[in-house]
Amino acid sequence: MKNISLLGATGSIGIQTLDVIASHPNEFKLVSMSFGTNYQKGIEIINKFHPKFVSVKDKATYDILKDTFTKEEISFHYGEEGLIEAAIYDGVDVLVNAVVGSVGLIPTLRAIENNITIALANKETLVTAGHIVTELAKKHNVSILPVDSEHSAIFQCLQGENEKSIERLIVTASGGSFRDKTRAELEGVTVEQALNHPNWSMGAKITIDSATMMNKGLEVIEAHWLFNMPYEKIDVLLHKESIIHSLVEFQDHSIIAQLGTPDMRVPIQYALTYPNRLPLMHGKRLDLSEIGQLHFEKADFSRFRCLQYAYESGKIGGTMPTVLNAANEEAVAAFLKGKISFLHIENLIETSLEKHENIALPSLEQIQEVDKLTRRFVQTLIS
């Protein structure tokens, strides 16, 4: 039995993680969780899973929960401190980090210090502080197991392989909601159109990131840290069906791929059961004869500028990826609120990167400071 702490329980990954936990009650137990402000969903989850510790984003949500659960013995908390406490709650074996945004960083670090295995969905963690997170994990001998489908695919392809024989990683990309549009056609696209992802149903922020291809950019940086791979050996391949979740090429030119229907419960469950596997409940099996054809295309940097910014920031390293991420988070939030246009997202990121004076090997405090300053800078540009 593995005791699980789940951050971001009410989100897209959170709900699918709960589905995996519920379908294997003899294997997993939810002992601790956190969410933001969606108390209706939160209350439903608490009633079904009976966690011992619950933390939420703010006092108002906390008050609602306290009023709802007067008899149960649940420890309620809120704010960043609560989020950290939820991650390292007594007896937790695995932390599933599925909050969105850079708030996910500190809970990951604290969990590693407490020797808790990390199942990582929150990509902002490795993007902003990859060198700190991976070093700490090595020091404490803690595994960071990928939840993102592409990284799970690569991780699965690498089982039993020698790291030295890897030639390159090939990360596949669906291309998001606007993959068939030219740059000129991106003028004036709406939030609603951007949120309509062809293959995956995900949270709002990552769906916009898929449309700008920033999601793939963040994934390239994440792959660099997870698999200790130079950027020159990480390629992005457009593959609109999202059936091949990623590939690894080896020295002997063999390529191994991982395939499946687009269902995030597969990588979530693999991270929870690793190195074993369990049946996937109510999952759709992949029938290649039904699909017939798979398509591949080169990812064009001039069409997908965010992908280029991500490679450039990743290669420079230091605080550049933090600027990339923070500027993106602010720009996407503004786009979702209707304050800026779709193409403005790229412009804000580009300006933020150009203005930034890089710090080569930043401390955690420096990363947090740059994160804060970048957000402020982008907000000033927007207003």
Residues that bind Mg ion (CB under 5 A): 148-150
Decide whether 149 or 374 has the Cβ nearer to Mg ion.
Answer: 149
Decide whether 125 or 249 has the Cβ nearer to ligand NDP.
Answer: 125
Decide whether 119 or 323 has the Cβ nearer to ligand NDP.
Answer: 119
Distance between CA 256 and CA 246 in Å, rounded?
Answer: 9
Please indicate if the annotation marks 38 as binding a ligand.
Answer: yes
Q: Residues 256, 250: contact at Cβ < 8 Å?
A: yes
Per-residue binder mask for ligand NDP (CB under 6 A), 88-107, x = binder: ----------xxx--x----
- Residue 92: is it exposed, middle or buried by C-beta count within 10 angstroms (0-12/13-18/19+)? buried
Q: Residues 30, 49: contact at Cβ < 8 Å?
A: yes
Distance between CA 194 and CA 72 in Å, rounded?
Answer: 42
Please indicate if the annotation marks 170 as binding a ligand.
Answer: no
Counting contacts by CB under 6 A, is residue 264 touching ligand NDP?
Answer: yes
Counting contacts by CB under 6 A, is residue 121 touching ligand NDP?
Answer: yes
The CA dihedral of 48, 85, 139, 105, to the nearest 10 degrees, is: 90
Which partner, ligand NDP, Mg ion, none, binds residue 202 by CB below 5 to 8 Å per kind? Answer: ligand NDP
Counting contacts by CB under 6 A, is residue 176 touching ligand NDP?
Answer: no
Contacts of 12 (CB under 8 A, 6+ apart): 201, 202, 203, 206, 264
Counting contacts by CB under 6 A, is residue 45 touching ligand NDP?
Answer: no
Counting contacts by CB under 6 A, is residue 242 touching ligand NDP?
Answer: no
Taking CB under 6 A as the criterion, the residue among 20, 51, 123, 153 binding ligand NDP is 123
Please indicate if the annotation marks 245 as binding a ligand.
Answer: no
Decide whether 4 or 381 has the Cβ nearer to ligand NDP.
Answer: 4
Instruction: State how far the alpha carbon of 163 is from the alpha carbons of 14, 229, 246, 253, 285, in Å.
Output: 31, 9, 17, 15, 30
Distance between CA 201 and CA 261 in Å, rounded?
Answer: 13
259 forms beta bridges with 244
- For the bound state, the minimum distance from the C-beta of residue 381 to ligand NDP, rounded and expressed in Å, comes to 23
Decide whether 57 or 197 has the Cβ nearer to Mg ion.
Answer: 197
Instruction: State how far the alpha carbon of 178 is from the alpha carbons of 40, 174, 222, 294, in Å.
Output: 33, 10, 23, 19
Please indicate if the annotation marks 10 as binding a ligand.
Answer: yes
Please indicate if the annotation marks 215 as binding a ligand.
Answer: yes
Please indicate if the annotation marks 355 as binding a ligand.
Answer: no
Counting contacts by CB under 6 A, is residue 145 touching ligand NDP?
Answer: no
Instruction: State how far the alpha carbon of 74 is from the alpha carbons of 24, 27, 235, in Å.
Output: 23, 22, 47
- For the bound state, the minimum distance from the C-beta of residue 60 to ligand NDP, rounded and expressed in Å, comes to 12
Please indicate if the annotation marks 338 as binding a ligand.
Answer: no
Decide whether 304 or 381 has the Cβ nearer to ligand NDP.
Answer: 304
Neighbouring CB atoms inside 10 A of 61's CB total 19
Phi–psi pair at 177, nearest 5 degrees: -65, -25
- The CA R_g of the chain, rounded to the nearest whole Å, is 20
Counting contacts by CB under 6 A, is residue 36 touching ligand NDP?
Answer: yes
Return the H-helix or E-strand segment holding 145.
strand 144-146
Counting contacts by CB under 6 A, is residue 196 touching ligand NDP?
Answer: no
Counting contacts by CB under 6 A, is residue 206 touching ligand NDP?
Answer: yes
- Residue 335: is it exposed, middle or buried by C-beta count within 10 angstroms (0-12/13-18/19+)? buried
Which partner, ligand NDP, Mg ion, none, binds residue 332 by CB below 5 to 8 Å per kind? Answer: none
Contacts of 197 (CB under 8 A, 6+ apart): 174, 176, 177, 207, 210, 211
Counting contacts by CB under 6 A, is residue 250 touching ligand NDP?
Answer: no
Segment near ligand NDP (CB under 6 A); pick from 46-54, 197-205, 244-252, 313-321: 197-205
Decide whether 125 or 149 has the Cβ nearer to Mg ion.
Answer: 149
Decide whether 123 or 305 has the Cβ nearer to ligand NDP.
Answer: 123
CA-nearest of 227, 231, 117 to 162 is 227
Counting contacts by CB under 6 A, is residue 124 touching ligand NDP?
Answer: yes
Q: Which residues are annotated as a binding site for 1-deoxy-D-xylulose 5-phosphate?
A: 123, 149-150, 174, 197, 210, 215-216, 219
Contact footprint for ligand NDP (CB under 6 A): 8-14, 34-38, 57, 83, 98-100, 103, 121-124, 148, 200, 202-206, 264
